[in-house]
């Protein structure tokens, strides 16, 4: 008889789901196999649980995909409680990493408490706090990359070493949404830098808006790098569409840089 999923196992499946591009949710995915082994389940069972959770994601449903509809009450409850609790999901990502490293779901792993702190570190705990911040940044990167199928959402570049998880509303400007994937874009390094400097932005209808500075740049190669993307729709987000409040913030920042 199939063993029911408990809350802890389902949270780990949710964490892995959020960090895995939709097209890679299948029973031969190495990460799914790792989690399955740690939970003493089949990789097919873990993949199905991830697709059960996908069926609860409004953006997945809106895209025409339905996931697997036979999700449990526990699945629905966990999605409701945790799907926008980015600090808690970051802790679950740490736990998932521990499970992968240990190869099992041990009680010591289950009871691990995260000290993740987004406040600027001070005093004797500076080194530990910096480590936790880096872990949070790593989690943000993984979830944003999964959201855009591991490609730059403007250029389509798919080389991981050239991609950056960019914040729409800057890291410094909003502590609450530092880990929110709806505040992130997957961008190639050059476009990340241009976005960070306010030389391009995205509009409310998710089109690229390049600054006059770049469009009229005296260097032809610079113009040719950016001009083809002016007015182009960014790639569709897999799970988390950029929120308007973050776009508004970046649009204001963009206008200030042009002034």
Instruction: For 29-60, write each residue's pLDDT tens digit.
Output: 999 999 999 999 999 999 999 999 999 988 87
pLDDT at 104 over 50: yes
User: Which has the closest alpha carbon to 200: 234, 173, 238?
Assistant: 234
Select the more confidently predicted residue: 3 or 160.
160
pLDDT score of 119 more than 50: no
Least confident of 73-77, 174-178, 208-212, 220-224: 174-178
Query: Do 141 and 166 form a contact (C-beta atoms < 8 A)?
Result: no
Alpha carbon distance 101, 37 (integer Å): 12
Distance in angstroms (rounded) separating the CA atoms of residues 251 and 209: 9
Instruction: Pick the more confident residue, 258 or 46.
Output: 46
- Give residue 158's pLDDT band: very low, low, confident or very high (50, 70, 90): very high
């Amino acid at each position: 008889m199939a063993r029911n999923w408990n809350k802890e196992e389902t949270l780990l499946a949710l964490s892995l789901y959020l960090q895995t591009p939709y097209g890679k949710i299948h029973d031969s995915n190495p990460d799914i196999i790792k989690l399955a082994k740690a939970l003493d389940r089949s990789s097919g069972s873990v993949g199905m649980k991830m697709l059960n959770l996908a069926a609860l994601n409004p953006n997945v449903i809106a895209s025409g995909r339905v996931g697997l509809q036979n999700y449990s009450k526990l699945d629905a409850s966990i999605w409701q409680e945790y799907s926008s609790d980015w600090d808690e999901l970051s802790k679950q990502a740490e736990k998932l990493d521990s499970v992968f490293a240990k190869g099992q779901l041990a009680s010591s792993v289950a009871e691990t408490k995260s000290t993740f702190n987004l406040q600027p570190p001070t005093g004797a705990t500076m080194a530990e706090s910096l480590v936790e911040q880096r872990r949070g940044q790593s989690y943000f990167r993984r979830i944003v990359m999964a959201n855009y199928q591991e490609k730059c959402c403007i250029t389509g570049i798919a080389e991981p070493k050239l991609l950056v998880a960019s914040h729409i509303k800057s890291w410094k400007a909003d502590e609450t949404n530092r880990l929110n994937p709806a505040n992130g874009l997957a961008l190639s390094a050059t476009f990340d830098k241009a976005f960070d400097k306010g030389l391009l932005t995205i509009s409310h209808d998710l089109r690229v808006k390049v600054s006059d500075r770049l469009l009229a740049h005296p260097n032809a190669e610079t113009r040719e790098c950016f001009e083809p993307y002016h007015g182009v729709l960014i790639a569709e987000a897999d799970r988390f569409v950029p929120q308007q409040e973050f776009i508004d913030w970046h649009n204001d920042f963009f206008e200030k840089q042009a002034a």
